[in-house]
Every structure is written in C-alpha cells, then in structure tokens.
Amino acid sequence: MLAPTLCHDPRVGDGRDARYGRSEPAPGAARRSRLAAARLYLIVEAEPGGRPATELVEPALAGGVDVIQLREKERSDAVIVDAALSIRELCASYGALAILNDRPELALESDCDGVHLGQGDASVDEARAVLGGDALIGVSTHTADQVAAARASSADYIGVGPVHATPTKPDAQPVGTALVRHAALHAAKPFFAIGGIDVGNVGAVVAAGAEGVAVVRAIRDAADPRAATEALRAAVAGGARTGAAL
C-alpha cells in the first residue's frame, strides 16, 4: 500500500515529509499518531447534496476536521474509488486522515489511510489481511459487549453510538451517553461518539468522556461548512474543559 502524502498541518506540531524518509516514522506510526490527536471526524457521501464531495470536504478540513470517512453504499465501485482518491488527496494536503467505509479492497485501491467497518461488514481480521499492518481500521459499536470485542481486536479505533436518534441510521436504537461513559472507561483505544451530535449537544457528549466525535449533518447540512466545523470544534474543546472541571 502506497504511503499517503502528508503535509504540514498547524494542528500537528511537526509536519511530515511526503516521502517518509529515513528520519520519518513508518506510515502506520504516523497515521496512529494523527488518530490519537483527532477530535473531529466527518462522514460524507460521494456527492453530498448533489455536489462533489470535495466541495464539502475542503472547507471542513480548513475548519478543523481531522478525519474524513467516505460512506457510500449506493454508487458503483468506480465512483467510490474516484471520490476516495479526491478526498485522500485533500486530506493529505491538510494532514488529515482519509477513511473508506466497509470496503477494504477499495480502500487499498484508493490508497486511503484505512477502513471503517460496521457490525455486519467484513471482520477486522479480514480487513487487516487485505490492508496490512500500516492501515487504520475502525469498528462501529452499539453495546458494551461490542466495545469489549473491538478492544480485543486489532482495530485501531472504535465508533460508539448512536448517541441520539439520527435519520442517517433510522433503525438504530440510541444508546445515550451511557455507552460513551462505558467506552471512556473500557475501550482502551481511541473512540469517537456518533449519532445526532451537533454544536448544541456535543458538550454533554464530551463531558461523558468522548475525546472525539463523528458527525454527518452538523457539517454537511450547514450553510457554511467551514464555520460550522469551527463552531463544532470549539464546542468539543469547551466540553472537554467542562468535563475536566467536574
């Protein structure tokens, strides 16, 4: 798997050379370092609202998104790969991570930083066999038992939710902040709370123990995606300060 181009990002103390020279960390180490520092994760379709994904991704990255996941269930493999390549290129220029949902083989083809798996998708071991040890693998969890299974696996991070009801997952039962609190105590690896999170409720989610949050509509549907991202990132930081004071 080819290494992604990583350029200087003001959110990261030292920029990484695109060539990963001898003095640079291995791609897997660089990716995991960025993952550990990530706080804001955006999930997009190939054409959100009928526009190219890059028209949403670029202002979101400029506003402070750390991870972009392309989640596309309806389009052809060619469309998914084309969108993933464009997203990966933009993410690389901002020092962010590019993740593809569900499809390890397409993540490899598009040189994404990793793949995100749902409970009904390929297993972590199957994805790892395709992508190798340098790739990031995330797993969605909805129960304490699933959090425990993800912790025991070689997954690099966990999605926890849905915290609130959300039209992007209409059949999913909301877990509230209880599972967030459980994950904060037991996940033992980076996790992102997800599901109906916006600038108005993110403070409570972060105060429950989430260091990172994943969103769709809070940025995708905003009139000004960059401003919405900046506001959400500030709210995440504010929630973290509030939680620390409790």
Domain ranges across the chain: 27-239
Question: Exactly one of 71, 151, 181, 217 is catalytic; which is it?
Answer: 71
Question: Exactly one of 140, 189, 226, 233 is catalytic; which is it?
Answer: 140
Q: Which residues contact 73 (CB under 8 A, 6 or more apart)?
A: 101, 102
Q: Which residues contact 55 (CB under 8 A, 6 or more apart)?
A: none
Strands (E) in 170-233, as ranges, are 191-194, 212-215
pTM of the model: 0.88
Active site residue 71: yes
Superfamily of the domain at 27-239: Aldolase class I (3.20.20.70)
pLDDT in tens, the chain (246 residues): 333 333 334 333 333 334 333 344 669 999 999 999 999 999 999 999 999 999 999 999 999 999 999 999 999 999 999 999 999 999 999 999 999 999 999 999 999 999 999 999 999 999 999 999 999 999 999 999 999 999 999 999 999 999 999 988 888 899 999 999 999 999 999 999 999 999 999 999 999 999 999 999 999 999 999 999 999 999 999 876 544 433
Active site residue 88: no
Question: Exactly one of 169, 189, 226, 233 is catalytic; which is it?
Answer: 169
The 8-class DSSP code of residue 13 comes to S
Active site residue 110: no
